[in-house]
Structure 1
Amino acid sequence: MTEIVVVNSPDEAPREWDASVFLAGPTPRAAHVASWRPAALKLIRERWRGPGRLVVFVPEPADGRSWPAHRVQRDWELRNLDRSDRVLFWIPRDPRDLPGLTTNDEWGWLKDSGRAVLGTPPDAPQVRYQRAYALGHDVPVRDTLAATIDTVLDALGTGAARADGELDIPLNVWRTRAFADWYAAQRAAGNTLLGGRIVWVWRHGAQTWLWAAHVRIAIAAEAGRVKDNEVVLGRPDVAAVVLYRRAEPVAASTVVLVREFRSAARTEDGFVREVPGGGGYTAEDGCAEVGQETGLVLVPERLRPHGSRQLAATLAAHHAHVWSAELTEAELARLRDVPGPHGVAGDGERTEVEITTYGELLRDGRVDWSTLGMLAAVLAVGEDQR
């Protein structure tokens, strides 16, 4: 069933919906100035095809009602701007009657949210900065109210059914596999998402790649306890491949690493060393990463699976899916002959092959604990466990 629910300030929103949009922009404060929002609502009603429930937040009182107190209005706007699936900015600015000063502030903190759509009439004054920023940062820009609404509704698509605390997770995060996997694990443990706030996203183009969510979780195993002082960092999972040649003792086993500059490094030389890997979930993804980062061509049939685990479970929700492949002496020789540079230059990636031993890595600080754990999972096991 297709349904549109309009929620005016300061009314409460329903406890479930499939999609939501906030109509942000200059609001008239004088009786002689007409609001643009009734026309927007008319277009939305004509063009929304659902299915499901669309909630439209309108930061104006319903007809005939007085404005709420400033604090009530402010809190209502901040709450619903935070959780709306899309924020439609329509800025028909008029310095005298529709200055849009609050709109400027809202645009400032939402323009990089992955949820903003910007519309302005071509002749509107003082919107060049907003339009220029949007065009340079993959934020949709439109010249008419109708086109802005069409862009918003296209982005919503069929939405996704959510209720209660789930409503605080906008679609651009809700639709990511990283969030779905994290949330499935929480529900499987019996925990309940009471609410939260997406405090930050990092996008590749229009796609959300990395997100940080401040969440409130009711913990099933600790009756009555709610955890609400942490941020969950989400990104796609990683496919990683341990390349090695076993020796006895195990500490003498040869290990292949890739060295790469990463901005977060706290090593002595500013480089990280890790096993070949990158965003992915499958053995095929792992083989592709090996090829990109070392130049070595492997087929998935050569890989032995070791399962998946989190890398930094107190902060980041993603897993590493780990495989291994024991190399021949000829393959190690080729890697030594052509250590690099490798990588996908268009993605800012430049890698060099380093060949060392497991024992050396145990003794020095070149690799992080996650990498050391992957190596241990492959090398520090008995024959009966392989």
Structure 2
Amino acid sequence: MIEAVQIAYAKEEFPTQFARSLFLAGPTPRSADVQSWRPEALRILINLGYDGVVFVPESSTGYKASYADQVDWEHKALEMSDCILFWIPRNLQVFPGLTTNVEFGLWAHSGKIVLGAPPEAPKMDYLRSLAGKLGIPQAENLEDALKHSLQFVGEGAFRSQGECQVPLHIWKTRSFQAWYKAQVEAGNRLDGARVEWVFRVGPGKSIVYCWALHVSVYVAGENRNKTNELVISRPDISTLVMYKPEANPLQTKIVLIREFRSPAATSDGFIWEVPGGSSFTLADPLEIAVEEAHEETGLRIDAARLNYVGTRQLAGTFSAHKAHVFSVSITDEELAWLSGQVGIPHGNPATHPSGERTYVEIRTMEEILAENLLDWSTIGMVCQALQPAGTPDRM
């Protein structure tokens, strides 16, 4: 493990293992008579006890690489960094920071940058305004900016080889770890990754909800690298198939949720599915299933009544996330109560950022198969849940 700060200067080899990494972005001196701000940043980091990697886009010897080589190194280092500190002591005569403006725009939506600039630095209003809208931490002196950066990376997480190309804010998500665990257990190896985009939610956009990585995976069973695909993922969901059984399986009644979701391509523009969802605060799939069913239908089911159906991906070539499926046989009284909820909106209140508004619908299995409103994944969940106990995924 790395125990002291490790500095990677421009055009030097990239580290093959680290727990946390920081890129010092900002104006670079264009002549020898202008002093760089980065040596002072390194002194502050050492005094603060930082023991990770620091990418410094300046030569350690004064030698200047070709412009193309310099840009290529910077792009790779920026992608590898867990946090990018933009310190912009702009001076229009010696530190104009024109390239810095472009780089800031490129990384503004990455979810891994900090912005710092002295109060008197000119031409900073637009960058500060954008940082405010995107929840980017800001500071007016170099030490505070570095402290924000260290707070962002925290204790880090040890990575090696291709893992180093997965930045910390994605690496630490449950969704990434679940995908990566499956690959490792299959004998495969991550040889490289590049973040294509990240979608953040919550206060200050502090929660990584969905991400996309362009990966290079060594496929052990085929002795080759797969390099032309994205891995997209988000938090797993838990769902609850609530049903009232009948002698004729096609007449079994299923409790569904109808909700407007923007990606819907159904005949009525709504998504029809069984109650379910994800949580940033709960970790137990069973508990999530109970809470989601209550939120979306108004009916609270005792967790002890639920049967575990199974866990599978929903659309394996599109997203790595999975559905943890549970089922419960409801009573006549519960069915009658739920039938009385048809047309009544449930879910989070309209003022909630998610804008969730769900409606209870009751359909027989025969109607579900005929109406073409449920997607294949949901139909699969329902069919699996209705299988007799003892069949695969119902043990």
Q: TM-score, normalised by structure 2?
A: 0.94
Q: Secondary structure at the match of 2:5?
A: strand
The aligned residue for residue 305 of structure 2 is 302
State the SS of the aligned residue for 1:338.
coil
Residue by residue over 1:270-290, the C-alpha shift from the partner in whole angstroms, topping out at 9 and shown as x without a partner, is: 110010000154211111001
Match of 2:193 among 173, 196, 200: 196
Tell me what 1:325 maps to. 328
Residue 208 of structure 1: CA displacement? 1.1
Q: Are residue 342 (structure 1) and residue 346 (structure 2) matched?
A: yes
Query: Is the partner of 1:287 in helix, strand or coil?
Result: helix
Q: CA deviation at 1:79?
A: 0.6
Q: Distance in 2 between matches of 1:112 and 1:142?
A: 18
Residues in 1 aligned to 2:138 and 2:200: alpha-carbon distance in whole angstroms: 17
Poorly superposed stretches of 4+, deviation over 6 Å:
none
User: Aligned equivalents of 1:284 and 1:112: distance in 2?
Assistant: 33
In the alignment, what sits opposite 1:271?
270
Where does structure 1 lack aligned partners over 5 or more consecutive residues?
Answer: none
**Secondary structure of residue in 2 paired with 1:33:** coil
Residue 336 (structure 1) shift: 1.7
Decide which of 131, 134, 138 is 1:137's aligned counterpart. Answer: 134
Aligned to 1:60: 58
Name 2:371's counterpart in structure 1. 364
Superposition TM-score, scaled by structure 1 size: 0.96
Task: Say if 2:210 is the partner of 1:210.
Answer: yes
* 1:217 aligned counterpart, secondary structure: strand
Which residue of structure 1 aligns with residue 11 of structure 2? 10
Residues 308-341 of structure 1 deviation map (CA, whole Å, 9 limit, x = unaligned): 1001101211110000111112111111212320
| Correspondence for 2:98 | 101
Letter of the 1:12 counterpart: E
Q: Partner of 1:113 in structure 2?
A: 110
- In 2: Cα distance, 1:23 partner to 1:82 partner: 13
Paired residue type of 1:140? P
- Once superposed, what is the RMSD of the aligned Cα atoms? 1.3
Shift of 1:206: 1.1
Q: Is residue 48–residue 153 contact of structure 1 (8 Å, CA) maintained in 2?
A: no
Query: 1:184 offset after TM fit, Å?
Result: 0.6
| Maintained 8 Å contact 1:244/1:256 | yes
Aligned match for 1:69, one of 66, 70, 80: 66
Partner SS state of residue 124, structure 1: coil
After superposition, the C-alpha distances for 1:240-271 in whole angstroms (9 at most, x for unaligned) are 00011111221111011111111111112211
**Partner SS, residue 2 of structure 1:** coil
Q: Is the CA contact (8 Å cut-off) linking 1:2 and 1:49 kept in structure 2?
A: no
Amino acid at match of 1:271: F
Contact persistence 1:210–1:233 (CA under 8 A)? yes
Cα distance, 1:49–1:84 mapped onto 2, change above 3 Å: closer
Secondary structure of the corresponding residue to residue 346 of structure 2: coil
CA shift, 1:15, in A, is 1.0
In structure 1, distance between residues paired with 2:250 and 2:59: 71
Residue 45 of structure 1 is matched in structure 2 by 46
Q: Look up the match of 1:289.
A: 292
Q: CA deviation at 1:32?
A: 2.2
CA distance in structure 1 between the aligned counterparts of 2:50 and 2:161, rounded to whole angstroms: 24
SS at match of 1:3: coil
User: Matches of 1:341 and 1:301 in 2, distance apart?
Assistant: 27
Match for residue 23 of structure 2? 22
Q: Which residue of 1 aligns with 2:160?
A: 163
Q: Which sections of structure 2, spanning at least 5 residues, go unmatched?
A: none
Matches of 2:13 and 2:313, distance apart in 1:
38
> Partner of 1:96: helix, strand, or coil?
coil
How many residue pairs match? The answer is 380
The range that moved more, 79-88 or 274-283, is 274-283
Question: 1:377: Cα distance to partner?
Answer: 0.4
1:121–1:143: 8 Å Cα contact kept in structure 2?
yes
* Counterpart code for 2:380: G
Q: Is 2:4–2:50's contact at 8 Å kept on the other side of the alignment?
A: no
Identity of aligned residues (%): 43
Q: Structure 1: how far apart are the matches of 2:14 and 2:248?
A: 65
Tell me, yes or no, if structure 1 residue 175 matches structure 2 residue 160.
no
**d(CA) in 2 for partners of 1:3, 1:343:** 50
Shift of 1:49: 4.5
Contact 1:139 1:206 in 2 (8 A): no
Amino acid paired to 2:222: E
Distance 2:286 2:9 in 1: 51
Secondary structure, counterpart of 1:167 in structure 2: helix
Q: CA deviation at 1:383?
A: 6.0
Deviation at 1:136, TM superposition (A): 1.8
Q: Which residue of 1 aligns with 2:257?
A: 258
The one-letter code of the counterpart of 1:321 is H
**AA matched with 2:217:** I
- Whole-angstrom distance in 2 between the partners of 1:110 and 1:183: 25
- Of 77, 85, 90, the residue aligned with 2:87 is 90
